[in-house]
Structure 1
Amino acid sequence: MKKKIFIAAAVVISSQLQAQQDSTKLLNEVVVTATKFPIKQSLTGKVVTVITREQLESNSGKSLTEVLNTQGGLIVNGITNSPGTNQDVYLRGASAGKTLVLIDGIPAYDVSGISGAFDLNLIDVNQVERIEILKGSQSTLYGSDAIAGVINIITKKGGDKKVNATANLSAGSYNTYKAAVGLNGTANKTNYNIQYTNLNSKGFSSAYDKAGNKNFDKDGIDENIFRANISQKITDKLLLKFTSQFSKYKTDLDASAFTDDADYTAATKNSLAGIGADYTFGNNIVHFNYNYNKTQRIYKDDSASIGGFAKYSKGEYNGKAHFIEAYTNLFIKKNTTVLIGADYRQQVTDQNYLSISSFGPFTTALGDSAKVNQLGVYASLVLKDLKGFSLEVGSRYNSFNKYGDAFTFSFNPSYLINNSIKIFGNISSGFKAPSLYQVYSEYRNPDTELKPEKSLSIETGVQYEKENVNIRAVYFIRNVKDVIAFYSSGAPSYASYYVNADKQKDKGLELEAAITVDKIRFTINYTNLDGYIETKKGTKDTAFFNLYRRPKQTINLNAGFDICKNWNMNIGLQTIGKRFEAVYAAPPIEMPAYYVWNVYSSYKICKMAKAFIDLKNITDEKYFEVNGYNSRRFNFMAGVTLSF
């Protein structure tokens, strides 16, 4: 059966009529994340990947993390588990929390979590205009958590018309239904965008029923997301911006790998609110932003269906973050720009947990005294196109009231040959501050304060673009010192706490290409990854591979084409290599490699309506992203997008 599907896919590709429009001209594409002001990709030595609005629209029915998971060097673990599953972002093999998520250039955190990583379940892809993925250490411009890079999610703004209404309605496998509606426009110097999304799915059992006869219950999700952006042009020089987002979802959980729990739930709420201003003087702009981020997570297990250790448990985790920044880009000369900025962050959490087992009640609590403040100042100099040569150099000084100080730098040269070949090399340092949980919980270090993890990244590469070919190759090395590890002394005291003890050394190769051949547009990326950690055992240093759940080799291949004027199709293949899964008090286990075929097709019914269908895992491959937890077999989403 699988061979027949492969042959059919090949026939479809080779017998197409018209190709997808060429969009391989990437060196002239303008990006903002690399330098915090607009710049052509050809003029920056940084490695940037852009997911455009057109690409997002051709992926209707997918989640944000499903789109991200096909990018070179980027793995999102958990995307094919049951809806609502926690999704860890691994960029270039870095662990969770070491890739900073930006929403419209503003850092987004969950300061109540162990890693501090923002929950990408809280963002709907229908509300996103474009995504810029900036790889390599970016702490000089963006501060803590940007050791592996940043993912800048740029949301939709108002359109050119006074009123424009949109809707996206879809349904699919596992009794999944999704509705997204929006209203946007521009009137009297006011630009507005309002959007609402509801997602509901009955789902399937999160835990894998190994015996096949235990009738594990389904684990679903109910989610609502509301977002509004408003900008007002006060004068020709002054622009005010207001943003808000409220997200909440409730999802069912299971006790652990291979273990069901019929009444274990998680409820997450997140509120984002911000105000900003841009003031233009000459060719220069001063930017000011303030953002408030509040997250609440409640985990509750309160019935006779006991899948874990406790008979009853409830945990509530609250986090609040304030972010203030001001920066300006000064265009000194035609080829010279200086960026100067400062930001201030305050993070607070309060947490409490209660469990009742046969041994009695157990409680932990963190008051709102669990607080950290940090102040950062930074500057960079950008030289552009000096007879093909471009350079960015920058530095940041970050001061914490709890951890001590951190200093970072970046050095990013590049050289453009004949407007088609870019050679680049980057050296940059980064840092990740300890999370509030690591510093204030019952597992805080009793002897010394934790220090930030500090990294040094080196990358070199070449990018070639001509006519219908765009190819990029990058080799990177990343070394991290003072890695925060969880230490346990064992018997008889069983003392357990976080320490700065280890060194992490990672390296990898990324190959990416976009090629149009015989009217078919192919995109392909290949990632080869390796890494290990050095840790002390007694008086000796021990090194071992520790990139758990991160495959050493990954391939993503997509072929897109137009069957006719209004009908297009994309066929995608993802192969995930072998990887290892950590097991408590036992050696890690090897997880088998797997592959997934996907087919997406859309048809433009009229100017205002488009129908689509997204077929995923069409060969019904059985695989596991995480040991003991189910992944989606063949499934689909189908629907219609409307614009008025």
Structure 2
Amino acid sequence: MSYKTTLLGAVTLCFAMPGIAQNSNIEESRLEAITVEGSRLDQTQTEIGSSVSIITAEDLKKLDFDFALDAVASAPGVTINQNGSYGGAASVRIRGASSGQTLVLIDGVPVGDPSTTDGSFNFAYLDTSDIERIEVLKGPQSTLWGSDAIGGVVSITTKQPEDKLGGSAYAEYGSFNTLRGGASIGNANETGDFRLSASGISTDGISKADEANGNGEEDGYDSTTLSAKGGLNLPAEARLEATLLWNDAESEYDSYSGGAQGSVADGDERTQNETLSGNVSLKVPLFDDRFENLLMVGYSDITRENFTNGTQSYFAEGDRQIYRYQGTFTVNDMNKLAFGAEREETTANDAESSIDGLFGLYEFKPVEKLTLTGGIRVDDHDTFGSETTGRVAAAYNPVEQLVVRASWGQGFKAPSIFQSTYICTFCGLTEPNADLKPESSEAFDIGADWTSEDGRAKAGITYFDQDTENMIDFSYTAGYDNIAKVKSQGVELYGSYQLTDWLGVAANYAYIDAEDGDGNELARLPENSGDVTMSYDPEGPFSGAVLVRFNGDEANTDGTTLDSWTRVDLTGSYDLTDSVELYGRIENLFDEEYQQILGYGTPGLSGSVGIRLRY
């Protein structure tokens, strides 16, 4: 509780002061935006060497994504799975790695749930209304971020304070009696800045168990999100910042049924989920801004409570504290060095673990058009000992229109608290598996990005190859054991063309060939997937987009195959005035019947309309 109190107090301090000061232009006193925040070296996409997809607030608005889950799915190489729409448990996988091997950061704070089996983050409740951008760094990134980053990193940045006193509000109504709305207000001045926002959604939903299998009971969903962000500009260009994000969600779901498709059928089940995350950071530049220092304390807490027929059937709470220092020293135009230390403490119910990390990163530019990056990290887990990971990357920009890049990296994931403490009593065991080891990965990718001279056309290709060893899975002889191995390789493509000043088309495609150590394809992972988007944005008040999403055949966990599907969505908006906008969305235009997970339903033809105000 003391961590929650500290975060609340820091956020209050950071936005209260600028709120009472006089307005002025503070562009010079604000820190510059980082092109790829997940790089830890302030690198741009032409310097980072790794494959990264960036989804901006403009992208989120254009395609009218309500949930971050759907937005992340638009990045090539990313696979999502959800146990039924509107609050069903949702996971994100990058290049075939499991959801527990995807590190999720919100404003730099890891938010995976330490109390779940694999410590993964549930994307079901994360609304897009307060998101500024999403970065998806693909491939092992443990040298940058430590444990859990075997498959990659999803780094989410919440919206920044307004440049002057102002904000926005929106309200919409749609199918399944869905109400969604929110509002924000912010201000900035010489003293600092702040932003407050609130959003919520309430829906009758659809049946989590597929209605096509005779499940007619609606499963509702309600969620409320509050966020705050603030900063104080201190003497000597130092800056104190704080963020806070709180969500409370309740979702109905269906019951286990051994004889039903996917073993799920109508039932009276409900889950209550509360999430709190935030951080307090101090940024101190030295030596004419050449030496940047960051001190941060972060915290996240997730509480889950399940009910069956109105009676509590499950309770879990996991929290995480992180302490971080990073120094970034720009020696000259050719050399940059970043180094730091982190400590992470996690708790799940009555169990605890901790891990300490030291890292160093070096950027070398022998010539202006070539960026070489290397790094090493040592993490020391209180139970599983030390793990060293390395990373090298190169980005070559021979002409302004072309970037050639390549990277190699290692990843590791320490066993979760659940895996390391689980005692399989029905297996005849009396203690956890003492021989459990961390999972590890090694991967490389190589690719190129091209832009036409007039900027109207863009294209890119990436080939990747990744091996993961010591995968942890359930065993009837040891509980949880290192029994699996995964090899994945594939190609990611994207391209776009601006046909006219007001009409453009973009597409991406991913081919992922992922197999376990016995040569079996991984379950719930399509070999082929992709999106096509056509955007219409003339100078007039109307704009719109068409999104076509394809998901290929994929194996089920029972050995059967889930059929491929294609869904078409339409979005549109109309500016009534400079500050009032009408917008709408039609989902699944052709009423495609499909499943993301065997036995779980998805919405048919549906839609919503809304109004957005800017003030």
TM-score surpassing 0.5?
yes
2:277 alignment partner in structure 1: 272
1:438 matches 2:441? no
Q: How far, CA to CA, are the matches of 1:452 and 1:375 in structure 2?
A: 15
Q: Does 1:557 align with 2:532?
A: yes
Partners of 1:168 and 1:61 in 2: CA distance = 14
CA contact (8 A) 2:66 2:129 kept: no
- Between the two proteins, the alignment pairs up a number of residues equal to 568
Taking the aligned partners of 1:97 and 1:57, their CA distance within structure 2 comes to: 29
Q: Which residue of 2 aligns with 1:532?
A: 515
Return the alpha-carbon distance in structure 1 between the equivalents of residues 142 and 98 of structure 2: 16
Q: Once the two structures are superposed, what CA deviation does each residue of 1:454-475 show, in whole Å capped at 9, x if it has no partner? A: 1001111111112211111000
- CA separation of 1:244 and 1:313: change in aligned 2, threshold 3 A: closer
RMSD: 1.8
Secondary structure (helix, strand or coil) at the match of 2:265 reads: coil
Structure 1 position 50 matched with structure 2 position 54? yes
Q: Return the match for 2:519 from 543, 553, 565.
A: 543
Question: Which residue type is aligned with residue 118 of structure 1?
Answer: F
Q: Kindly state the Cα deviation for residue 109 of structure 1 after the two structures are TM-superposed.
A: 1.6
- Aligned residues of 2:423 and 2:432 also touching (Cα < 8 A): no
Structure 1 residue identity aligned to 2:459: I
Distance in 2 (alpha carbons) for counterparts of 1:411 and 1:37: 13
Does the CA-based 8 Å contact 1:193-1:228 persist in structure 2? yes
Which of the numbers 574, 590, 607 marks the counterpart of 2:561?
Answer: 590
2:434 matched to 1:448? yes
TM superposition shift of 1:258: 5.8
Q: Look up the match of 1:12.
A: none
Is 2:234 the partner of 1:223? no
Structure 1 residue 342: deviation in Å?
Answer: 0.8
Residues in 1 aligned to 2:65 and 2:575: alpha-carbon distance in whole angstroms: 16
Structure 1: state its 5+ residue gaps: 1-28, 304-311, 351-367, 490-495, 535-541
Find the counterpart in structure 1 of residue 28 from structure 2: none
Q: Give, in whole Å, the separation in 1 of the partners of 2:515 and 2:151.
A: 16
Three-state SS of the structure 2 residue aligned to 1:141 is: helix
Q: CA deviation at 1:402?
A: 0.7
Q: Which secondary structure does the structure 2 equivalent of 1:55 belong to? A: helix
Quote the residue 1:308 is aligned against: none
Equivalent in the alignment of 1:159: 162
Aligned counterpart for 2:487 among listed residues 494, 505, 510: 505
Give the match's secondary structure for 1:97. Answer: helix
For the residues of structure 1 that align with 2:499 and 2:109, how far apart are their CA atoms? 39
- Aligned 8 A contact 2:420 2:432 in 1: no
Cα distance, 1:121 vs structure 2: 3.0
- 2:76 partner SS: coil
What CA distance in whole angstroms lies between the structure 2 residues aligned with 1:226 and 1:258? 36
Q: After TM superposition, give the deviation of residue 378 of structure 1 in Å.
A: 0.2
Q: Which among 289, 299, 303 is matched to residue 296 of structure 2?
A: 289
Q: Which residue of 2 aligns with 1:331?
A: 330
TM normalised by structure 1 equals: 0.85
Match of 1:84 in 2: 87
Instruction: Answer yes or no: is 1:183 the counterpart of 2:185.
Output: yes
Task: Report the Cα distance in structure 2 between the residues aligned to 1:385 and 1:605, rounded to whole angstroms.
Answer: 53
1:14 corresponds to which residue?
A: none
1:262 Cα deviation (Å)? 3.8
For 1:528, give the aligned amino acid. Answer: Y
Check whether the contact 1:104–1:154 (CA below 8 A) recurs between aligned residues.
yes
Q: 2: CA distance between counterparts of 1:259 and 1:122?
A: 21
**Which residue identity is paired with 2:506?**
T
Paired with 2:59 and 2:202, the residues of 1 have a C-alpha distance of: 25
Amino acid at match of 1:461: G
Are the equivalent residues in 2 in contact too, given 1:323–1:346 (CA < 8 A)? yes
Q: Which amino acid aligns with 1:517?
A: L
Q: Any conservation in 2 of the 1:34–1:48 contact (CA below 8 Å)?
A: no
Task: Please give the residue correspondences for 1:302-381 in structure 2 after superposition, counting only pairs within 5 Å.
Answer: 302=309, 314-350=313-349, 368=350, 370-381=351-362
In the other structure, the counterpart of 1:576 is 551
Q: Distance in 1 between matches of 2:195 and 2:180?
A: 20
The alpha-carbon deviation at position 100 of structure 1 amounts to 0.9
Per-residue deviation at 1:211?
A: 5.0
Tell me what 1:630 maps to.
601
Deviation at 1:244, TM superposition (A): 1.5
C-alpha distance in structure 2 between counterparts of 1:230 and 1:109, whole Å: 24
Instruction: Give, as a single letter, the amino acid of the residue that structure 1 aligns with 2:308.
Output: D
Q: Does the residue aligned with 1:174 lie in a helix, a strand or coil?
A: helix
TM-score by length of structure 2 reads: 0.89
- Cα gap change, 1:461 to 1:224, in 2 (>3 Å): same
Tell me: CA distance 1:634–1:338, structure 2 relative to 1, closer, same or farther (3 Å): same
Give the Cα separation in 2 of the matches to 1:453 and 1:228: 36
Q: Which of 616, 620, 629 pairs up with 2:591? A: 620
Cα distance per residue 1:515-572 (max 9 Å; x no partner): 21244211110100111111xxxxxxx3322x21111001200011225511111111
1:383 aligns with 2:364: yes
Q: Secondary structure at the match of 2:120?
A: coil
Report deviation, 1:502: 2.3
CA distance in 1, matches of 2:496, 2:85: 32
When structure 1 is superposed on structure 2, of 383-392 and 193-202 the one drifting more is: 383-392
The answer to whether 1:299 aligns with 2:274 is no
The aligned counterpart of 1:245 is: 245
Q: Is this contact kept in 2: 1:207–1:258, CA < 8 A? A: no
1:35 and 1:553 map into 2 onto residues whose CA distance is: 28
Provide closer, same or farther for how the CA distance between residues 30 and 447 of structure 1 changes in structure 2, counting only shifts above 3 A. closer
* Cα shift at 1:447: 4.7
Alignment partners' CA distance in 2, 1:522 and 1:278: 41
Separation in structure 1 between the aligned mates of residue 38 and residue 265 of structure 2, nearest angstrom: 45
**Partner SS, residue 42 of structure 1:** coil
SS in structure 2 opposite 1:437? helix
1:393-408 counterparts in 2 under 5 A? Answer: 393-408=374-389
Q: Does 1:523 align with 2:506?
A: yes
Q: CA 1:452–1:100 in 2, change beyond 3 Å: closer, same or farther?
A: same
The 3 A distance-change label for structure 1 pair 275 and 532 is same
More strand by share: 1
2:589 partner SS: coil
Deviation at 1:210, TM superposition (A): 5.0
Tell me how far 1:313 sits from its aligned partner.
6.2
Q: SS in structure 1 opposite 2:419? A: helix
Cα separation, 1, equivalents of 2:380 and 2:209: 44
**Separation (CA, whole Å) in 2 of partners of 1:479 and 1:232:** 45
Per the TM alignment, residue 76 of structure 1 is displaced from its structure 2 partner at its CA by: 1.6
- Structure 2 residue corresponding to 1:73, chosen from 63, 77, 83: 77
2:27 match:
none
How far apart, in 2, do the equivalents of 1:642 and 1:197 lie? 14
Structure 2: distance between partners of 1:501 and 1:98 = 16
- 1:61–1:614: 8 Å Cα contact kept in structure 2? no
> For 2:151 and 2:434, how far apart are their aligned partners in 1?
27
Post-superposition shift, 1:34? 4.4
Deviations 1:67-121 (A, max 9, x none): 1112211122128x33101111011111111111111122222111112112223
Aligned to 2:172: 170
Residues 179-188 or 133-142, more deviating: 179-188
Amino acid paired to 2:326: Y
| 1:137 correspondence with 2:140 | yes
The amino acid that maps onto 1:382 is E
CA shift digits 1:425-484 (9 cap, x unpaired): 111000111111101123497452321101001111111112211111000011011111
Give the whole-Å Cα distance in 1 for the aligned partners of 2:546 and 2:211: 32
Asked if structure 2 preserves the Cα contact closer than 8 Å seen for 1:34 and 1:44, the reply is no
Further displaced range: 294-303 or 425-434: 294-303
Aligned to 2:203: 201
SS in 1 for 2:99: coil
